[in-house]
Structure 1
Amino acid sequence: MQILQTVVVKQILTEKSKKKLFDTYYSRKLQLQKECDQLHFELKRLENTKNFSQASLKTQFEKEISSRRDKVKILDFQMEQLQILPIGSELKEDEVQALVDIKIGDTWNDVKTQPVIIVKDGIIEEIRR
């Protein structure tokens, strides 16, 4: 019999993966800042048309801008934490589903234990059970 089981994928932090992760965070931050600028521009443009309720329009745009600013703060925090983390740290990267073969006589506690796949620079280093 086979069952579905969640498998955690962890990444071992190396200089290469640290730089790649930092670049990903940084590019996402830049994208969010561009979106904030675009939203400000659109708000100003729509305020000049006078076709919309100014109060509700401004409230909606401010809500969207605030949401993006919060995400930027989270990314800043993640970049700070990434700088602090030592090389060799394990970071949870993903979760995947796997089919696991079970048979009569297997120890249930061993089957229940969540396996972990360890990846280093894109190469599977270890599979833990």
Structure 2
Amino acid sequence: MSQSFDASRSLAALEQDNTIIAVIEMSKAKWLVAALVPGLKRQPLKKIAADAPALLKLLQRWRDEAGRAGHTVQRIAVAYEAAGDGFWLARWLRAHGIEAYAIHPGSVAVSREHRRAKTDRLDTELLMRAF
């Protein structure tokens, strides 16, 4: 995962067979990470400590799982809501060869029926749709 970040890659078409897409619902103590991983029928959902190296380790684990399923991951893209946490994580991930996108919270659509039912799992689903 030591490849340099190239913003032009984000303009490329999404190739689902070799791209991991992950979204993060962040809180101060824990992060809930949901992903689409090539070769996996399930959509992984993992709660980890609010720690960037732990996130990198998780992404590498999912890359390895995709490899065991016969898919070589060439691209990892991560998105999260840029609230109080700002952009430090995006800069850190990019420095580690991961595409990172901080999404403005207002651009994540919330349906009326879900406005009262706010859960981290629901938030990751909405982020995945926005991304």
- Give the TM-score normalised by the residue count of structure 2: 0.19
Greater share of helix: 1
Looking at CA atoms only, which structure, 1 or 2, has the larger radius of gyration? 1
| RCO comparison, higher one (Cα < 8 Å, 6+) | 1
After TM superposition, the score normalised by the length of structure 1 is: 0.19
